[in-house]
Amino acid sequence: ALAFATSRVPESAVTTSLILLMMLALPAVGLRAQEGVVEQQSALERELMGEIQCTCGGCRLSAGTCGMPNCEGKAGQRAKLKALIAQGLTRDQILAEFVKEYGSDILSQPPDSAFNRLAWALPYGIGLAGIGLVGGVAVRWARRKDAIVPEPPVASTRPDLEDRLDDELRELD
């Protein structure tokens, strides 16, 4: 037994063994995580469970993705949702019922209305206008430097000073 334990094992055999062990262990972990009874859900129920937040207080997720164990908020919302669907209410009517009972914080995203679109787009519009303003000012300042050209020196209008300057320059040579 000692000789077997100290023998050399090829590198690929170790890697293959680890991969096989992981492949055998992962399905068992996945099956254990899916405790509970599988319930049939309609497409409308699945969609609405994704739009309504869970009321358990332990998470800030939608009721469809709440992962709290034995979540009473999720179960209560699912039961209420099934009852409203059974009454034949439309999607918007069901959302209105939840908003009436819990307030607008129950929705995982704000309703798609004109005011909410404006509230979403306004900061981006202000940001783009600010970038345009800064760019315009920068271009204007850059052009201003090009427009300011120094004027050539004006020749003196006094001939006696010009003669004196010429005499001084000749003496320097």
In angstroms, the CA 141 to CA 148 distance is 11
25-29, 50-54, 88-92, 154-158: range with highest mean pLDDT: 88-92
Q: How far is CA 10 from the centre of its chain?
A: 47
Specify the DSSP class assigned to residue 155. P
Q: Which residue has the higher pLDDT, 106 or 145?
A: 106
Instruction: Say whether pLDDT at 51 is over 70.
Output: yes
Q: What is the pTM of this model?
A: 0.45
**pLDDT, tens digit, 9 for 90 and up, residues 6-31:** 666 666 666 777 777 777 776 655 44
